[in-house]
Amino acid sequence: MNADTECVQTKAVWEYSIQRRKAMTLEIREEQQVTSPAEIAAFLRGLGLPEKEQEHFVVILLNVRNGIRGYSLITIGLVDRTQIHAREVFRCAILQGTTRIILAHNHPSGDPTPSPQDIECTRSLVSAGKIIGIEVLDHVVIGQPNASGRDYLSFRETNLL
């Protein structure tokens, strides 16, 4: 075969990008910091997480002053579990240059008590974050109000983080 009769194949080359869109408007004071799990729970309620019938795992992206920059839906699972991998959890944070995140998910059962798998997964993600320089400040599980009237559990408040 010479150069004139050589077979040429084509191959698609894709451009990948991360797009952002406005999901909501928060009424906050200038430079307001997230100072408590209750504020994160209020944010999750605003996203409608307690009403979801499947587990939704989100990462809340924070600025250097712990203000909410945005969030990323990582995965939607089943009624009682979802599969999480560090690669997906930290992807958006890395691309957005975020150095602090808060993990969050809902429990469709209504009970915000973390499962042993929740605890193990969180510890693994905290370790991965340390390696890549992204601090996991908390993991908040939201459900429905319990006997105490709270509908969320903070890993940091309960010393699980």
Block residue for tokens 């009682």: 80
* pLDDT over 60 (residue 31): no
Block residue for tokens 């307001």: 32
pTM of the full structure: 0.81
Domain boundaries, the chain: 33-154
Chain length of the chain: 161
138 DSSP 8-state letter: E
- DSSP codes joined into one string, 64-117: TTS-EEEEEEEEE--SS-----HHHHHHHHHHHT-SEEEEEEE-TTS--PPPHH
**What pLDDT does 28 receive?**
56
Tokens matching residue 119: 């605890």
What is the second-level CATH architecture of the domain 33-154?
3-Layer(aba) Sandwich (3.40)
- The string of pLDDT tens digits covering residues 128-148 is 999 999 999 999 999 987 767
- The string of pLDDT tens digits covering residues 60-114 is 999 988 989 889 999 998 767 778 999 999 999 999 899 999 999 999 999 999 9
